[in-house]
Chains A and B, each alone.
Chain A
Amino acid sequence: MKKTLAMLLAVLMLAALLAGCGSSNSSAPAEVSGEINKEEAPYEVSIQFVGLFEENKDIAEVEKALSAITLEKINCTVDIVPVFIGDLPTTTSLGVAGDEKLDIVAVGLTSPMDNMVSQDLLLPLDDLLAARGQDALKATERVAAAQKMNGVTYAVSGYNYAAVGGGFVYNKAMAEEFGIDMHDGMTLEEMTEAARICKEHGVYFTTFGNSGQVNYKFWFGGDYFGSTGSFGAILDPAESTTIVNPFDSQEMRDYWKTVKAWNDAGYLPSDQLTDTTTVQEYFSQQHLFGTSTAYTTNQIASWVNPNFEVGLVQTANGTVSTASVREFMLGIAANCKRPDKAMDLINLIYADPDVANLLMYGVEGLDYVPVEGTQNVITYEGTNNADHNGYYAPFVHYGDMLKIKIVAPLTDSYYADTEAFENAAKMSKTFGYDFDGSAFSAEGGAIATVLEQKLPALNAGQVADVDAAVDELVAALNAAGMADAIAANQAALDAWLAK
């Protein structure tokens, strides 16, 4: 037996030796100069395009139209690489690991910037931006602090107007039929009244599903650290710099009590927790009145439904936070062979609205048509994109938000609205700060499982006693190390503020 094991060990070591060959992955930093070399053969820049389940059969057309512009301006062609949102983290990390062709990668969504940076998936961009990315720098100037980690820029935000508030999207036809008054600034009490009326008409108000996210923030905002607040949160980021356990706050308890009251009164489906139908599906099938969502000036466009009119009211003030800037960004993969060309394209996306429009909406006439009587409003109706099979981008966001086209029912006033919303929004005092949780990865994992276990029931209002459930949750969170993580987070923040 001993001999056998020794032999096996020998095989293992041989295997290790063999596997060791040829897996160093050093990409020599290309010299960074501002000049675009028009003499060389055009490089093909790949850019990830995150979608849901669309076929996107017009991608080749879009690439052709894009390349026509880019060939002339920056001497490169464009390769759009569709990735399904569920696969995004694996695709990028394996692509870098296998040293495959990757240039511009999607940062954010299911693949947050801090994770990508801690796994060394992204190139530092500061030199590149300074040399060849002046337009991108200018467009994202106000949010630049949030594009950095430890002082280094790793990605450029797709949301250069990053204010996000809380909102509630609803079925306008139902609201009118039931006589529900929906208006901006609605409180939870007013929502409760709306829910009661819905119940009278036999329609569910909303559903929270089996989700462990922090719905509370759609009503009261806040700046959350780690995945769903696992490293604490600042509940009033415009005024305060104190990190607390958000789940232990009186406000959150009150919110959960309201939801429980909704559940007990039958305003919510009783099988929320086991239901696998998404709220989007219910909403589009008119099975419920509405749902809380993020509030931005263009949010409503993403909820448009061909069968009924959709309304959106604001329930929490806009805040510009690190998280809202990092929702979707463009970065350059660590193994990119030509970071200079990738940066050229990133810059062009901000400099040339035509490029951004092509990436966002596809080819005019084929995938969208302008709405008559407007300057910049488009619609998918009557095009390949009517059923989302042409070129449909539900998650990505390219270019300067004030320069690109917009989709009906938005109107030309969108641009002024966006600026006004941004200016009215409060700036988080900790804007640009992010907690480096790598020392707390074990705690982070344990906290995440506790949240996965206990948040959904509270979110759905399906607990016997809110206070008891919250106490239990907080105790479990602290047992998993949340209090320690928050203390470390606060110390790091204080040090950051002192600088």
Chain B
Amino acid sequence: MVKTNKGWNISANIVMVLLSFLALAPFVLLIIASLTDENVAMTYGYSYFPQKWSLSAYQYIANQSARLGRAYLMTIIVTAVGTSVGVMITALLGYMLSNKDLPGRGLLNLYVVFTMLFNGGLVPTYIMYVKTFAIKNTIFGLLVPNLLCSAFLVMLVRNYFENSIPRDLYEAARIDGASEFQTFFRVALPLSTPILATIGLMMGLAYWNDWQNGLYYLSDQSANLKTIQNILNDINTNIAYLASNSNASGVNVASLPTQTARMAIAVVGILPILVIYPFFQKYFAKGITMGAVKG
């Protein structure tokens, strides 16, 4: 927006403070829960002012540091690689579809949207990836299935290219003798940092939070490819099993993280995003449409 407006600024700030509070309050509780003494949490539940603090949850994490550290590294690698490749593919496809005169555009659009509706299900997908592409127990098992390009994000990009970038810019580039690829990389991409940042963020979060690929495509535990979310998910499914078969058998639960430790793992899983995100935000800043149009 061009100029700021005092009244709007104040009311916007009020609303945002309120929303931030609603978002932060539970998160603070999560952190405090992870710092609460296990016995106190069991007896009194969680509170902002626990009767007894304890670092034992983080001690548990420290004890598991070999396993968790490795998983951390995997998460970071998979997220970084997957997101960068994915954003490229998505942006290119979205750019192609944004051409209103492209022959076969309607069909191609339906081709893309259709993938949001129907899926063959886990077993056929799995058989194909494992038998034809042999990605089981490789890093590709974490990277490729389902996450690399989503129809939803393609549509977002298409929509942005269609509505936010003036066609004349492309024409101008073409007249200057630029190839289509040059136009895309030199004109379209620089003007679309907001949408690239948006889909990059969404894709990054999808990779960061994904546990299903790891569950299905990694079985060899010695391969050490599990991500943080896989480990969290392993813990949760095992606990769910115990809870629903509560007293069928005596299982010594010593090896399972306690409730507060699970909270601590959740905190550890979120923190890196919180660190990176603010740096990432500068890409949400305005593209250079204005200058380009006038120039």
Direct A/B contact, Cβ within 8 angstroms:
yes
User: Interface of A with B (CB < 8 Å)?
Assistant: 4-5, 7-8, 11, 19, 22-23, 52-55, 81-87, 90-91, 93-95, 97-100, 110, 169, 207-213, 215, 218, 276-282, 284-285, 287, 291-294, 299-300, 302-305, 387-389, 392, 394-395
Asked whether A54 and B127 contact (CB < 8 A) given A211-B243, A277-B42, A287-B43, the answer is no
Q: Which of B122, B219, B245, B251 contacts A52 (CB 8 A)?
A: B251
A459 to chain B, nearest CB (A): 10
A395 to chain B, nearest CB (A): 8
B142 to chain A, nearest CB (A): 16
Q: Which of chain B's residues have a CB closer than 8 A to the CB of A208?
A: 246-247
Known pairs A87-B234, A211-B246 / 6 extra A-B pairs, C-beta < 8 Å: A84-B237, A94-B126, A98-B126, A287-B42, A302-B249, A388-B255
- 13 A-B residue contacts at CB 8 Å? A52-B251, A84-B237, A86-B234, A90-B215, A94-B216, A169-B250, A211-B247, A212-B244, A213-B244, A276-B259, A278-B243, A291-B247, A302-B252
B241 lies within 8 A of A94 (CB): no
Q: Which of A4, A84, A210 contacts B243 (CB 8 A)?
A: A210
B234 lies within 8 A of A209 (CB): no
The residue of chain B having its C-beta at the shortest distance from the C-beta of A51 within the complex is B255
B131 lies within 8 A of A280 (CB): no
A53 lies within 8 A of B241 (CB): no
B136 lies within 8 A of A98 (CB): yes
How far apart are the CA atoms of A357 and B50 in the complex, in Å?
46
A19 lies within 8 A of B128 (CB): yes
How far apart are the CA atoms of A341 and B250 in the complex, in Å?
33
A-B interface, 8 closest residue pairs, ranked by CB to CB distance from nearest: A86-B237, A303-B250, A98-B130, A302-B250, A388-B255, A291-B247, A209-B246, A280-B253
B54 to chain A, nearest CB (A): 14
Q: Which of chain A's residues have a CB closer than 8 A to the CB of B124?
A: 19
B268 to chain A, nearest CB (A): 16
A99 lies within 8 A of B110 (CB): no
B248 lies within 8 A of A277 (CB): no
B73 to chain A, nearest CB (A): 17
Q: Which of chain B's residues have a CB closer than 8 A to the CB of A284?
A: 252-254
Q: How many residues of chain B are within 8 Å of chain A by beta carbon?
A: 50
Assess whether B242 is interfacial by the CB under 8 Å rule: yes
Q: Which of chain B's residues have a CB closer than 8 A to the CB of A81?
A: 219-220
A84 lies within 8 A of B238 (CB): yes
Within 8 A of A (CB), among B15-46: 38-39, 42-43
Assess whether B11 is interfacial by the CB under 8 Å rule: no
Within 8 A of A (CB), among B102-125: 106-107, 110-111, 114, 122-124
Q: Which of chain A's residues have a CB closer than 8 A to the CB of B254?
A: 284, 387-388
Q: Which of chain A's residues have a CB closer than 8 A to the CB of B43?
A: 287
How far apart are the CA atoms of A387 and B110 in the complex, in Å?
56
How far apart are the CA atoms of A84 and B130 in the complex, in Å?
21
User: Interface of B with A (CB < 8 Å)?
Assistant: 38-39, 42-43, 67, 106-107, 110-111, 114, 122-124, 126-128, 130-132, 136, 215-216, 219-221, 234-235, 237-259
B131 lies within 8 A of A277 (CB): no
The residue of chain A having its C-beta at the shortest distance from the C-beta of B257 within the complex is A53
A458 to chain B, nearest CB (A): 15
Q: Which of chain B's residues have a CB closer than 8 A to the CB of A292?
A: 247
A213 lies within 8 A of B111 (CB): no
How far apart are the CA atoms of A16 and B221 in the complex, in Å?
33
A297 to chain B, nearest CB (A): 13
B131 lies within 8 A of A22 (CB): yes
Asked whether A99 and B131 contact (CB < 8 A) given A52-B238, A291-B246, the answer is yes
A282 lies within 8 A of B136 (CB): no
A456 to chain B, nearest CB (A): 10
A281 lies within 8 A of B248 (CB): no
B240 to chain A, nearest CB (A): 7
The residue of chain B having its C-beta at the shortest distance from the C-beta of A88 within the complex is B241
How far apart are the CA atoms of A5 and B114 in the complex, in Å?
11
Asked whether A213 and B131 contact (CB < 8 A) given A86-B241, A87-B215, A389-B255, the answer is no
Q: Which of chain B's residues have a CB closer than 8 A to the CB of A84?
A: 234, 237-238
B219 lies within 8 A of A282 (CB): no
Residue among B38, B43, B123, B237 with max Cβ neighbours from chain A (10 Å): B237
B247 lies within 8 A of A215 (CB): yes
B252 lies within 8 A of A304 (CB): yes
Asked whether A85 and B249 contact (CB < 8 A) given A98-B131, A100-B136, the answer is no
B253 lies within 8 A of A281 (CB): yes
A53 lies within 8 A of B250 (CB): no
A97 lies within 8 A of B67 (CB): no
B256 lies within 8 A of A52 (CB): yes
Q: Which of A54, A94, A213 contacts B248 (CB 8 A)?
A: A213
The residue of chain A having its C-beta at the shortest distance from the C-beta of B253 within the complex is A280
Q: Which of chain A's residues have a CB closer than 8 A to the CB of B106?
A: 4
Q: Which of chain B's residues have a CB closer than 8 A to the CB of A281?
A: 42, 253, 256, 258-259
How far apart are the CA atoms of A215 and B252 in the complex, in Å?
20
A323 to chain B, nearest CB (A): 11
The residue of chain B having its C-beta at the shortest distance from the C-beta of A95 within the complex is B219
Q: Which of chain A's residues have a CB closer than 8 A to the CB of B132?
A: 22
A213 lies within 8 A of B246 (CB): yes
A87 lies within 8 A of B237 (CB): yes
B38 to chain A, nearest CB (A): 8
Q: Which of A83, A98, A387, A392 contacts B127 (CB 8 A)?
A: A98
How far apart are the CA atoms of A52 and B251 in the complex, in Å?
9
How far apart are the CA atoms of A99 and B129 in the complex, in Å?
12
How far apart are the CA atoms of A91 and B234 in the complex, in Å?
13
Asked whether A97 and B127 contact (CB < 8 A) given A52-B256, A282-B42, A291-B246, the answer is yes
Q: Which of chain A's residues have a CB closer than 8 A to the CB of B241?
A: 85-86, 110
Asked whether A91 and B219 contact (CB < 8 A) given A84-B238, A281-B258, the answer is yes
